Amino acid sequence: MNKLVNCCRLNSVQKIPINFHLIRFLTALKNADVFNVQATGIKSSLKKTTKHESFVFRSFFGEFDPDYLRFPKLVDNDQESVLLKQQYEFVRKNFLKLSGDPKILKQNGFYDLSTLTEVEKAHLFEALGSSLEFKTNESRQFESANNLIKLDQLSVTNSFLTCYQEKKKFLSATLPLLIRNSIISNTIQNSSNDKLKQRLMSDFKNVRIALAFDEPNDYFMSPTYPFWQSTARFDQETNTWLLKGKKSRILSDDYDYYLVFCKIKNEHDHGIGSFLIPAEDVIIEPDGTDNYGTKFQTIIFNELNVKKDNAEIAIDDQATLLLNMKASGHLMSSAVLLGIMRQVFNNIIDNCCQVKEEKIEFKNLFINHITRMSEMIYALESALYLTCSHYDTFKLNQMDLYLQAMVVKIMAAEYLEEMLKSIRFLYRPQQISSIVSQDMNDVINVLNAFLDTLTSIRMLLATYGLRNIGRWRYDNVVKLRLNRIYPIHYFKYQYDRFKRQFFLRYPEAYDGFKSLENLDPLLRNSANLLRKVLEIETEMGTYILKLYGKECVKNQIDMNRFCTMTVNAFQMVSIICRTNDSLLRGSPFTSQQLRMCENLCQKSHREVLSLEKLIEGIAEIAEERRTKIIHQSNIRFNGYFAKPTFDRVI
C-alpha cells in the first residue's frame, strides 16, 4: 500500500536554498511594488505515487485506509515556515489595496503560481480571503462610530458604497486568479501534449485563457459530464477533433484562448477531453451578471475542426484526471472562505479584548459560541490541507480526489454561514460592523456558486455514493439471481468474486481498522467513533437503496442526510489524522487540539446517529400512517364488525 511520506522529497540536495528566497522576500516587504510571490522550492523535488480510490469512496463501503492517518508536513524547516508566514501576513494586509490594478498583480506573481504546490496555493488563497475582512484599529473605531443609520437617513450611505466597491474589486480580482491558478494551470501542467504545454507555460502569466466548463441548464444542478451536450469526436484520418456544443458562465474579458471541456463522443461515449480554442473561432454571447455586476458570457462552437497537435490538452477516458482538475478550484475557493473565517474570528477576539470585562454579558454562551467557531476552523483547515497534500503526493489520473474536494467545499460554505449566524446572535448591530461586513453573505453566495452550487454538490456527492454502492454490491446479486435463466452470469459472477478476493486486492484495507489500534491511547475513543460512523454510513446507503431502488435520486431528503454522513466521516478522519500528527511531533498546542478532536468526533457521531434514526424511521412512519388511515376508516364505516350488533357491549 502506498504510504504518505513527509514532504516526499527525492533528495535534500535538490532543494532551492531558502535563505536566498527569504532575503528577497523580506526586502520586498518594504515596497509593495517589488513584492513577488515566492515558493519554497519543494514542488520540483516531489515524487508522486500511484493510489486508487480516495477516503470518501472507501467510506461509501464502510472501509478504511491507514494511509489517511498520516498528515504530511510539507514545510520541513523553520526558514520555510518563516517565508510562508511573512508572505501570508503581507498578502493579508495589502492584497485588497493591490487588487484594483491587474498590472501590479501580474508583476507580483499572482498570475503564475505554477511553481507552488497545492498546499502553498491554498495557504496563499487563504491569505487572500483573510485580506477581505482585515481591519485596523482605526478602521474598526470608525465603523463602530458610524454604523447606525438614523430613521430619516434610510438611504445608500457612503460606508455601504465603500464596502460594496471593496467586495466588487476583491471578487473581480480573486475569481480570475482562482480559475487561472487552479483549474487552467493544473490542466495544462498535466497535459500529454508536451509541445503545447511548453509553449503555454513558458509565458503563462501573459497568456489570457478562459475556462469553459459549465453547460447551459435551467435546473439547480449542473448536469454531469455523461449528459453534456458539448461533444468532441476524433477523426483518425485527418488527425483532427470535431467540436460541437455550447458553454456558459464564463467570466467576461478579452481572452486569447478558451480552455473547453467536452464529452468524448466515441463508441462508448465515455470520458472528457480538454481543448485550447482561439477566441476568434467561437461565437461569444452575453450571459448575465451577478449581484456585484460581474459579467458572464457564453460561447458557441458548431462543427469546429481543430488539429490535435494545436488544440488537444488532455484526454481522459475515465474522466478522473479532469474532474480532479475542476475540484482543485473547489479547494482554492474553500481556502478563500477559510481565510474569511479565520480573520472574522480574529476580529471577534480583538473586539473582545477591547471590551471591559464587566460589560460582557452571557459569558458562558459567548464561550460556547467561540469554542464552536474555533472547532469549525480547525476541522475545515484539517480537511483542506489534507486533501491539498494528496494533490501533491499522489498521481491524479487514478485517485478520485474530486469527492474529497466536494466535502471540503461543503464544509467551507456551511461553516462560514453558521459562523455569521452566531455573530448576529451574539452582537448588537453597532458591534457587528467592526467584526464582519454587512454584505458578507453576498460574497459567500458568489463563492459558493463558483463552479457548482452547494445544493448541487450535496446531491452529486450522494449520487456518486449510492450509485457506487448499488453497482458494486447489488449488480452482482441480481446477476446471481438470474443464474438459472442466464448461466453465464452465474459463472461470470463466481469468477469475478474469486478474482477480486478482498485479501488479495486490499490486504492493508482489510486490516485498515486495525491501524486505528496503533494510535495514541488518547485518540482511541475518537477512532472507535469513526469506525461506528463508517459502519452506519454504508448501512444507511444500503438501506436507502433497498427502500427506494432506482428511485432514490428523487428522494433528495434522504440523499442529503446520506451526504451529511459522508461529510462527517471525512471530517473525523482529517481531525484524527492532524491531532495524531501533533501528538507525534510534540506540538505545544496538543492538549487544545486533542480536546477539539474529541468534541468534534462526539458531535459528528451524535449527528450521524440522529440521521440514522430519521432515515430508518421513514418506513415506520409510513406504516403507522397507513395503519392509522385503515383504523379511522374502519371506525367510520363500522368495518371491525361483520354485522353491527344492537348492544355494543356484547
**Is 70 exceeded by the pLDDT of residue 475?**
no
- Running DSSP on this structure, what letter comes out for residue 17? P
Contact (Cβ atoms closer than 8 angstroms) between residue 454 and residue 410: yes
pLDDT tens across 575-595, in order?
999 999 889 888 888 899 999
Amino acid occupying residue 435: I
Residue 87 vs residues 106, 123, 138, 612: alpha-carbon distances, Å: 16, 10, 24, 45
pLDDT of residue 365: 81
C-alpha to C-alpha distance for 535 and 448, rounded to whole angstroms? 30
Q: What is the pLDDT of residue 221?
A: 61
**Does the pLDDT at position 136 exceed 70?**
no
H or E stretch covering 181 = none
At residue 405, does pLDDT exceed 90? yes
Determine the pLDDT at residue 330. Answer: 94
Looking at residue 647, its pLDDT comes to 38
Work out the angle at residue 590's Cα, subtended by the Cα atoms of residues 586 and 596, and round it to the nearest 5 degrees. 155
Q: Give the pLDDT confidence of 285-343 residue by residue, as tens digits.
A: 988 887 777 889 999 998 899 999 899 999 988 889 999 999 999 999 999 999 999 99
Tens-digit pLDDT profile for residues 349-376: 887 776 655 455 567 788 888 899 999 9
362: left (phi over 0), alpha (psi -120 to 50) or beta: left
Task: Say how far apart CA 345 and CA 35 lie, in whole Å.
Answer: 28
| Type of residue at 323 | L
The mean pLDDT of 538-555, rounded to a whole number, is 79
Give the integer Cα–Cα distance in Å for 566 and 547: 19
Domains of the chain, earliest start first: 456-635 (1.20.140.10)
Pairwise CA distance, residues 271 & 431, whole Å: 53
Which cell numbers hold the place of 531? 469506525
Whether 402 has a pLDDT exceeding 90, the answer reads yes
* 202, three cell numbers: 513558458
- If you average pLDDT over each of 2-11, 448-457, 486-495, 633-642, which comes out highest? 448-457
pLDDT at 391: 92
Whether the pLDDT of residue 121 is over 60: the answer is yes
Buried (b) or exposed (e) across 506-540, using 16+ Cβ within 10 A?
A: beebeebbebbeebeeebeebbebbeebbebbbeb
Q: Give the residue, 468 or 598, on which the prediction is more confident.
A: 598
**115-129, 178-192, 572-586, 632-646: which has the minimum mean pLDDT?**
632-646
Question: What pLDDT score does 470 carry?
Answer: 80
Each residue's pLDDT tens digit, 264-298: 987 666 789 999 999 999 999 988 887 777 889 99
pLDDT in tens, 154-174: 444 556 677 778 888 888 899
| Cell 468526533 -> residue | 601
Three-state SS for 300-336 is EEEEEEEEHHHHEEEEECCCHHHHHHHHHHHHHHHHH
Cα–Cα distance measured from residue 155 to residue 383, given in angstroms and rounded to the nearest whole number:
43
Q: What is the pLDDT of residue 648?
A: 36
How many CB atoms are closer than 10 A to CB 370? 16
